[in-house]
Amino acid sequence: MSLIDSHAHLDLPEFSHDLDAVIQRALDNGIDSIITVGIGMEECRKALEIAARYPFIYATLGMHPHNASECGREAIDFIEKNAGNAKVVAVGEIGLDYFRNRSPRDVQRSCFRDQLGLARNLKMPVVIHDRDAHDETVEILREEHAHAMGGVLHCFSGDTAMAFACMDMGFFISITGTVTFNNARLIQDVVKNVPLEHLLIETDCPFLTPVPHRGRRNEPSYVRLVAEKIAQIKQVHVDEVAQVTTANTRRAFRF
């Protein structure tokens, strides 16, 4: 069984002391590729370094809404300059976060639009962060013609109607370890209703650790637990989930 963790943050301090061991555990559990996702200037540089070090790890570059204040000319130029790197597969993680509001909302919106425009010019897919901003996220994606580049709604937290609206724009819906939580009825309903051909799996590690490891640091090897839960919900074999989501990830990120 071959799996891909389509969204990890291997550049964060939680992995600074044992990254090699974490990656070896992923390989031992059938994970053959990992996408490590940039969220700020420092994290993007580290993501590039990690992707260069391991042949099966890829990177995305973007300014997370929490770091929207960094989204100036320097950041845009940095992403554009490194977009031609063969290990860079998307612009992201970009979007809106109206839950924590660590950046002013108008700054978040401007940063989001700027990076969507950059991705459109680069003809690269995007990795979208959306938390408590469902309607506005879809509205901006439509206004910025996001169907032209497509991509992924990472750690999807909307409902089935939103999932289908995003799928209509050419986006994949990515599922995290939250699907294993007992109270996760909304995302479990999304998984039930969205065709497997439109789903990706991810850990978002070190966050959102799936059951039975909830409360500990998440890591790419645990993406198998996400695949197993999806298989249970859809009443298919986990090998089918692995095969289809792996193909979906390669198609979404074009590697």
Q: What is the pLDDT of residue 63?
A: 98
Q: At residue 34, what is the residue type?
A: I
Q: What is the pLDDT of residue 171?
A: 98
- Alpha-carbon span 237 to 244, nearest angstrom: 11
Q: Under DSSP, is residue 87 helix (H, G, I), strand (E, B) or coil?
A: coil
Beta bridge partners of 37: 60
Q: Angle 6-22-83 (CA atoms, 0-180°, nearest 5)?
A: 40
- Alpha-carbon span 114 to 162, nearest angstrom: 23
How would you write the pLDDT of the chain (255 residues) with one tens digit per residue? 899 999 999 999 999 999 999 999 999 999 999 999 999 999 999 999 999 999 999 999 999 999 999 899 999 999 999 999 999 999 999 999 999 999 999 999 999 999 999 999 999 999 999 999 999 999 999 999 999 999 999 999 999 999 999 999 999 999 999 999 999 999 999 999 999 999 999 999 999 999 999 999 999 999 999 999 999 999 999 999 999 999 999 999 999
Q: What is the pLDDT of residue 1?
A: 84
- pTM equals 0.97
* Of 34, 25, 24, the residue nearest 3 (C-alpha): 34
Q: What is the pLDDT of residue 25?
A: 98
Burial class (CB in 10 A: 0-12, 13-18, 19+), 84: exposed
Q: Which CATH number fits domain 3-253: 3.20.20.140, 2.30.42.10, 3.30.565.10, 3.60.21.10?
A: 3.20.20.140
For the record, the structure tokens of 189 come out as: 């309903």
Query: Could you tell me if 201 and 226 are in contact, meaning their C-beta atoms sit under 8 angstroms apart?
Result: yes
- Alpha-carbon span 88 to 91, nearest angstrom: 8
For the record, the structure tokens of 249 come out as: 């990830």
